[in-house]
DNA sequence: GCAAAGCACTTTGCGTTACAAAGTAATAAT
DNA sequence: ATTATTACTTTGTAACGCAAAGTGCTTTGC
């Protein structure tokens, strides 16, 4: 019988906040800091560090600009980020419940 | 348009090793330490602490017995663990864009 | 028969991470 | 002019993940 293999889950993605951020960014062209803060329901500080981590990994770009006179931080996922996210989803599938199997493993 | 909501992901489950362990235990009546070590590809010490954490959360029971003269640690998921895992999977769905699920490969 | 090696784990130590409180710098309001 | 608000970043710390080291028993070798 086949033994379940559990491929590694990219640690940069396997975090609740960063997973949520990428999940948003996958579906839109870009999203700003405050929008991401709202949907992830996290604090400024926490989000800031998570975004930096995603940027450092090359999964996301952070663009700083001004909306009127207020600074705006805009994020978009990169191609590398899209590929990493897709790979993460593929790997994650192997962690979802297997077909029913009642035998004892030893 | 509806804004994606990201429900909390049970932190006891949202860890690569513990997710793998529960994924195994969901499908079998019980599994012993060495089997879990093999499939999760982790070290003894690491697995030991993760199993304790799952036990403390009441998601799993750890039974100690002897096979001949060697100690065996046998794990099984509890009803509470099954419910928590099901809830985790439900929550996780909101993080996975449906588009990427339906993607046809190649 | 007694040290050495192996097995089955647990405990310890420590670098990394996640989080929010505090800090910074600007504009806006009173 | 002072205080508040916006938009973040930096810092401090508690919790976490990981593997090296430790524990206790068994088996093997000489």
Tell whether the model's pLDDT for residue A97 goes beyond 80. no
* Of the candidate ranges A29-33, A59-63, B1-5, B53-57, the one whose mean pLDDT is the lowest: B1-5
Q: How far is A79 from chain B (nearest CA, A)?
A: 15
Tell whether the model's pLDDT for residue A83 goes beyond 60. yes
Distance CA B8, CA A78 (A): 26
Tell whether the model's pLDDT for residue B98 goes beyond 80. no
Tell whether the model's pLDDT for residue A100 goes beyond 70. no
**Which of the nucleotides lies closest to A32 (Cα–C1')?**
D7
- Please report the pLDDT score of residue A96 as a whole number: 86
Residue B32 Cβ under 7 A from any strand C atom = yes
Give the mean pLDDT of B58-74: 92
Domain range summary for chain A, segments of one domain joined by +: 8-95
- Please report the pLDDT score of residue A62 as a whole number: 95
Q: Which one is predicted more confidently, A105 or B5? A: B5
The CATH code of the domain at A8-95 is: 1.10.10.10
> Shortest CB distance from A97 goes to which of B11, B26, B38?
B26
- Please report the pLDDT score of residue B9 as a whole number: 96
% of chain A at pLDDT higher than 70: 88
Q: State which residue of chain B sits closest to A40, comparing Cα positions.
A: B6
- Please report the pLDDT score of residue A1 as a whole number: 53
Distance CA A21, CA A47 (A): 9
Q: Per CA to C1' distance, which residue is closest to D16?
A: B15
- Please report the pLDDT score of residue A4 as a whole number: 57
Chain B residues whose beta carbon lies within 8 Å of the beta carbon of residue A20: 4, 6, 95
Tell whether the model's pLDDT for residue A3 goes beyond 70. no
Give distance CA B36 / C1' C5 (Å): 25
- The pLDDT mean for chain A works out to 88
A4 in Cβ contact with B39 (< 8 Å): yes
Tokens of B38: 């093999």
Handedness of CA A88, A93, A97, A98 (dihedral sign): negative
Whole-structure pTM value = 0.87
Residue B64 Cβ under 7 A from any strand D atom = no
Give the mean pLDDT of A22-30: 94
Give the mean pLDDT of B9-14: 97
For chain B, list the strands marked E by DSSP: 31-32, 60-67, 70-77
Tell whether the model's pLDDT for residue A102 goes beyond 90. no
B20 in Cβ contact with A94 (< 8 Å): no
Please write the tens of the pLDDT for every residue from A44-72.
999 999 999 999 999 999 999 988 888 89
% of chain B at pLDDT higher than 90: 78
Question: Which bases of chain C are under 7 A from a protein CB atom?
Answer: 7-12, 17-23, 26-28
**Which of the nucleotides lies closest to A53 (Cα–C1')?**
C17
């Amino acid at each position: 019988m086949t033994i379940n293999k559990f491929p590694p889950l990219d640690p940069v993605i396997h975090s609740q906040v960063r997973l949520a951020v990428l999940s948003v960014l996958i579906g839109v062209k870009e999203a700003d800091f405050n929008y991401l803060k709202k949907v992830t329901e996290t604090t400024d500080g926490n989000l800031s560090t998570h975004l930096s981590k995603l940027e450092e990994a090359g999964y996301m770009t952070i663009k700083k600009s001004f909306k009127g006179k207020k600074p705006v931080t805009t994020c978009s996922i990169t191609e590398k980020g899209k590929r990493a996210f897709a790979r993460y989803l593929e790997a994650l599938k192997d962690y979802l419940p297997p077909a029913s199997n009642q035998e004892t493993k030893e």
